[in-house]
Amino acid sequence: MSNHLNIDYLKQLKESMFNISKSAHDLDNVEDLYKVIHSSIAELIHTNNLFVATLNKETNLISFPYYVDINDSIPENSIELGKGLTSIIIKSSEPLLIDKDQYNNLVGLDKLGTVPESWLGVPLKLHNNETIGVLAIQSYSKDITFDQDDLKILTFAAEQLTLAIEKFNAIEQIEKKSKFDDLTGLPNKTSFFDSALSMIQDAKKINDSILFVLLDLDDFMLIIDTHGYDIGNKIIEVIAKRLSESINNNEVVSYWGGDKFNLILKAKADNKYNKERVQEIAKIIKQPISINNNVFSINSSIGVSIFSGNNNLNQLVRNSEIAMNHVKNNGKNNIEFYKHEFKQKLMNQFGIEVSLRKAISDKQWEVHYQPKFDSSHNLFGFEALIRWNHPEKGLINPSTFIPIAEKSNQICEIGSFIIQHVCLETKKMIDLGSENLIGSINLSAKELNKESIVNEIKYALDETGLPPANLEIELTERMMIDNENLSLEILNKIKDLGVYLSIDDFGTGYSSFNYLKNLPVDTIKIDKSFITGIDRDNEKLKIAKGIIKMGHDLNMNVLAEGVETKTEFDLLGSHSCDKFQGFFFSKPLSLNKFKQIL
């Protein structure tokens, strides 16, 4: 252009370049920068026709986020890479300056709009030289044609635009990372709360209801422990995709890490509809997932709270968590809608947990003794059963506080008391003449997994002088199965101390013969659910007979728990059951009363 050497033009050039550069640095969105570049270019080159094209690498489609032209409107649809001048520049990563004749030769039948007299386009290149789009201008006037100086100006503008795009992309990635989970791509906790607040405000305006759904995958850590985190992550990805596809517009599914998903669903006044909607979510999750020749069927514990106009967000989320925990504490794999009594129960449990700390420090325990007898009615031992002697409430049954103690890890401190107490009292009774008496202690899973448990038992034996052969450790069958590898190692160490080992509640965990034969166990105790009414239930009798035979085949003693009638005792005795305990013989006794029957 003839005025390129004009002093005024050079001043304008400097101001325009500075304006583009400053705007690329200062502006916080790329749309405003498009406009600044356009206005600056128009002042220098005297053309109002400018567009920005960008390439989607995944789809190979070119779109036009900015397009101003005096003759043609913005293309309605994206175009495929390979057609038109824009594609030529993207593929070559080189600028293109052509006149009308060259345009016709290059484009041919792929013309997308009015043919220009002059056309100039430059690539948008990232710092790694990857071309992501094109900045182009075109003139329809024979009086305005572009040259190499215009190419330099447009190249500078393209460089500034690309720097800004990289900046905006980085900011977008940071914002996305702060609001979306990397693994699933779902909204995270922060984004969930933002969406929830907005949905609550909208619901208030139209007196609408919303379901807040907290979903916890059952036994997910067991899958990770067995198959590894890679498999666990793939399962999470599959479930995230299924949940995303199951929700409607204006609903939200978010991932909070671990094994938890949160959903916000539209509710109806019809409670049946709401329940069925959540049930569908549970069914979607439970559909088999195949990964690396493994098939997983995932159950879930789901808690639901309903926004109906007068709940705050934190309360709604907390209520869904309370409902979910209620499911977890009552067998898992279910759905519960929040009820006030759930919260009351939780508060009661918390109160018990606080009181337990005092009970542990003050040793508010009372041990009762459940006598054990052989088939000749001879007393040979006892099972120690702890009671909480609360200063205000009196004796509290273990079923009330033991589950809470296990969750709060207080069970280990309670267990330490029992081990020491039973060893001491058993030794005293032996010294009084009951030299063959065997005292039995129940260990919880947390105690079994405690690194110090073997040394703790050994210390109690040494401290009290109790012979190891007068102590028995009882563990439930389910606990053994759930902790198979760790349990076997620890059991062998406990067995090496010289104490007896027994499996409690046998028959409820589906142990196999091959599994049992590897355990250093002396006695299996048939669970009382198979004993009660055994004389009236042939299936129970078959199970009991099978357990007795299996135990004897493994050179183990078999004890029947919960024997309440003479008929049950006689029937089990006729099938060679070795040992018994239950109300037919005696209920649990205080220490003094137990000593009286020795």
Confidence of residue 280 (pLDDT cuts 50, 70, 90): very high
Among 423, 431, 358, 419, which residue's Cα sits nearest to residue 389?
358
- Look-up of token digits 């997994």: 449
Cβ neighbors of 301 (< 8 A, separation 6 or more) are: 215, 216, 218, 324, 327, 328, 332, 333, 334
Confidence of residue 244 (pLDDT cuts 50, 70, 90): very high
pLDDT the model gives residue 204? 85
Between 173 and 458, whose confidence is greater? Answer: 458
Beta-strand runs (E) in 33-95: 50-56, 61-68, 79-80
* pLDDT over 90 at 114, yes or no: no
Between 325 and 76, whose confidence is greater? Answer: 325
Confidence of residue 123 (pLDDT cuts 50, 70, 90): very high
Contact yes or no for 470/437 (Cβ under 8 A): yes
pLDDT the model gives residue 551? 93
287: amino acid identity, one letter: Q
pLDDT the model gives residue 209? 86
Cβ neighbors of 92 (< 8 A, separation 6 or more) are: 123
**Assigned token pair, 177:** 């990372």
Cβ neighbors of 123 (< 8 A, separation 6 or more) are: 89, 90, 92, 93, 94, 95, 131, 133, 134, 158
Span 297-320, mean pLDDT? 88
pLDDT the model gives residue 486? 59
Q: What domains does the chain contain, in order, with CATH numbers?
A: 2-179 (3.30.450.40), 189-338 (3.30.70.270), 352-596 (3.20.20.450)
Mean of per-residue pLDDT scores for the chain: 88
pLDDT the model gives residue 429? 97
pLDDT the model gives residue 1? 44
Helix orientation angle between 340-362 and 313-328, rounded to the nearest 10 degrees: 70
The Cα 597–Cα 418 span in angstroms is 22
Confidence of residue 556 (pLDDT cuts 50, 70, 90): very high
Among 272, 336, 281, 338, which residue's Cα sits nearest to residue 307?
338
- What single-letter DSSP state applies at residue 73? P
CA distances 207 to 202, 247, 309, 338, 391, Å, are 9, 21, 7, 20, 51
- What single-letter DSSP state applies at residue 75? P
pLDDT the model gives residue 222? 84
